[in-house]
Each structure stands twice: as C-alpha cells, then as structure tokens.
Amino acid sequence: MRYLILLPFMFLVFTACQKTDREKLNGMWLISEIRVNGEQMFSTEKAEQQKIIDRVINEQMAQLPPEAQGQEAMMRNLFSRQMAISAKTTLEFKEDGTFVSIRYNGSSQVETTGQITLDEAKKEIKMKSDSDEQFTYELKEELLKLSNYSDGEKIELSFRRK
C-alpha cells in the first residue's frame, strides 16, 4: 500500500525527465546522407560513397561522346573531392530558436543563419533565412531526418549528432 503513495511522485519524476523535441534538437549535427526521390545521392560511409560514384559515373559516361570516354579517372577524382567537401556540412540549432548551417563551396565556407519554428504535433520544422524551407522531421537521440518536397522531388537529409 505504501508504494501507491510513491506512484504519483515517480510519474512526476519520469515526465520531468522527458525532453521535448525542441530540447533534443539543440546542438550540432553533421550531414550523413542525402536522398532524392529515394535514390541515395550522398553518404559519409565510404562503401556507400563508392557505390554512388560508380552509379553517377556510369550514368555520365553513357551520355558522353566516345572521345570523352577516357575522362573516367578525372570524374572519379572530382566526385570524390565533392563528397569530401559535402561531408563537412553542419547544422547547429541553438537554444534561442536560431540555426546556423555551414557548407563549403570549394575551399570557402558558406554560412546561413536564421530562425526556426517547430511544430512538434505535426513534426514540422520551418527554417526562415534568405530562403524559407519547411521540412517534416524524424528525431531520434543521435539521428535527425529532414524531408521536403521541392520542384516535384522528395529531398531527404539525414544528420548525426556531432
């Protein structure tokens, strides 16, 4: 019987320990995967990168004239460098409701800042900056997935906590 008295207290402690999505979102996130219409376009995993590069090069080589077919090594090198640059992309959510996105264009850093609005019930996040974006999100402890439909394509971005 005396344990019944503790039950409301334990429930209160348990609910107080639960973080909201807004609290879980705070911090730095590193890009880990990009998919367009379900097709993987980027991954930080080396084996997946190689598959993506092979697929893209095969598609590109099929469209090139025969005299340009010898450019495969140069294209592989270019795509490998692009993957390495893309892997540096970060997204930071701050407690004050702002975000900072850092990506690289060649060797220069491009930083975008803005405000976020989170609708936890709909699992939607709006990112207001120079271009307003609205995503649906899936949030786990170490994984953030953002999805968006843009120009008839479904874009899916996956991030891992840094």
Measure CA of the first residue to CA of the last residue in the chain; give whole Å: 47
Instruction: Kindly tell me if the per-residue pLDDT of 113 is higher than 90.
Output: yes
Instruction: Kindly tell me if the per-residue pLDDT of 105 is higher than 80.
Output: yes
Task: Report, at the CATH architecture level, how domain 19-38+90-162 is classified.
Answer: Beta Barrel (2.40)
Residue identified by tokens 């207290």 is 9
> Binning pLDDT at 50, 70 and 90, where does residue 26 land?
very high
pLDDT the model gives residue 30? 97
Considering only residues 71 and 6, tell me which one the structure prediction assigns the higher pLDDT: 71
Segments of 10-63 assigned E as strands: 27-36, 39-43
Considering only residues 131 and 134, tell me which one the structure prediction assigns the higher pLDDT: 134
Phi/psi of residue 122, each to 5°?
-90, -5
pLDDT the model gives residue 5? 60
| C-alpha dist (Å) from residue 161 to 40, 95, 119, 138, 141 | 20, 16, 21, 13, 8
Contact 145, 138 (CB under 8 A): yes
> Binning pLDDT at 50, 70 and 90, where does residue 6 land?
low
pLDDT the model gives residue 15? 46
Instruction: Kindly report the pTM of this predicted structure.
Output: 0.81
Considering only residues 85 and 14, tell me which one the structure prediction assigns the higher pLDDT: 85
Percent of the chain whose predicted confidence (pLDDT) is above 90: 62
Report the SS3 class of residue 96: coil
Domain boundary assignment for the chain: 19-38+90-162, 45-86
